[in-house]
Structure 1
């Protein structure tokens, strides 16, 4: 039994030592946040129930000096009401009941002596010190190690079994079998959050009795003691949305408040920066609009030398001579003289094409050159109308008449005439000037008319 209890004690000590490694939640969480100095609501009251093992064996002191060195494990149960005053400090009223028993050998001879103490009741007021819940980086502890110490009063009855197996009721020096005495409870343990209002409570408590009567033997100078290893549940009183004082971390709340304020300040500054950027963008747009309006004052879209702002006749064709308002100058009156008509008539007379083609024969060039000079010098306009006889298809004759008119235009332009002042049209066989029944008539119908204006 002693070996098992030693292992249990070492295990409990290891859990307590290691709990600090994972006793906090992520600092990002704000479920346990209370604004610092705001007096915000927190849960401070809780009740607990527990059950476990009672034994005279303890982890404190030399157990070999106790009256009974073969401790037995008995069932105990209890509960408490706790008031948390700060995240670290609380007071709790404990109740405990159960039995404590032990044996003492008789050097291997006879029945071992023993005792059994029935703990009718015990009440204690203890301080509860919660550890590991103050951290700059974490908002809420998941596991809360704690220490307890206090003072209590209890009532118990003890029976003794001698080596012969006889059982008698123990009486103290005052002859009392129902004994009431003070004791000092000292404990440690940890709580694990199972929910917003429920904690798992694992603890170990040593009770130092202020006498040597507890085990029925009043010998030596050492007071009796017994331990209580227990597991239980703690129920927090209050809304599940309200933070628990024992897990509330005021230091982290200060940090959270600082971070929030800093983020609000950054957001406010960013908003101001964005507002200034918007103003700058508006000024830039206004400046661009102004520059665009100014640019309009220097634009001459049609290139006639008159700015658009003063141009009363926009989109004037390129090369057109205009007045100060950008409007075309009145064209001078053009007179076609008899000599001009003679030059054109001579060109028509000498005009020849290869048979069935739009190729101008070389003998026609001199008279066409004089027509080109006339167009260039006097800026005349010329209309060319190509015609054919009815030999061949209408489509072929239409194409041939158009190609011959275009061939003449191309030649005149190559000699310097203004292409925009020459119109070339083909009429095919649709406008005969003589009968197509005779060779002479067909010869007359194969022609290109020149109209000078």
Structure 2
């Protein structure tokens, strides 16, 4: 194939491919916008794509190196690809292509080197797996990208048949390859390394321009072993179309700009509404906490638990915010009055609590210094039988007398009596009231 014929073939192919692009673009024109999230996972995107390509094959590569021929003839190559996009910037791509690679010694003296004028190698097939990295976008700050650069590298297997032309008939490797000369093609491993640029034509279609260098693990790709320590190589410059596969309701992951998506999520009105709702919930919680702490009458019990609101300032209260009962008074000689607090007891107990000691000590001091007599009347709450509560209340009164006698008061100065459930000072229907009724009251005779 001469160069003029190649150019015409590429032109016809390109026109046909662009026609397909226009049709695909028209079909996608009604596609709705996506609500994809940057951290929403691959399931919200189209990740598979299929491509077709065609271009020019050459025994030379862009980075130079040694070659067995001085000139190259442009020859046609063509192939297909299937790619799975694994993330915003990386995908795996399988490639298969065919074609012919041709070179000559036209510029060599006499047009012959090592007795060889030219060669043509038929590529029966070439298959490889490559990693594809999206390295940059020209318009990466825009909401939707339309131009992208990529690099590729991978590993593959090529089956080829070289045919060198010499002054005398030369060996055609096709159908004569292999150690027994009975294989159709020579097979070698190769490493493809390439780069390219892609243009977004529509939501479904992109137009790709690429260049790939193929480094073959052998020195017989062109049928010449002139440099036994070197490896042959060839390049493929191509143009192609890539079609995104999958649901039209999803965007193509290939063109997603994660920075733009993140910005859009931050500007999402629904997200702002959620933030405002969260602020309101936090404010309500803070208000509830303040309400729990509120103590209008300043008695140390919050309004939420205060059963006796409006207690005057300075009034001693119990855990429910109700005033504690006033202490009975002992009238001392000389016409002076001395008050003593009521002695409280635990449930079903006649054991004095330590907080009662200061009160009893004060009462003991008055009796020892001034004489006189005191009556200790014991009481009980309504739990238990009446007979048991009389006995319990008598034991409580005796506990007070025993303490006073042990502190130096004459036993004859203290009389005791068990009153049982009589004369409650608070309701026995509540635990707070029953606590107040478990007591001993002292009074001067």
TM-score calculated relative to the size of structure 1: 0.49
Larger Rg: 1
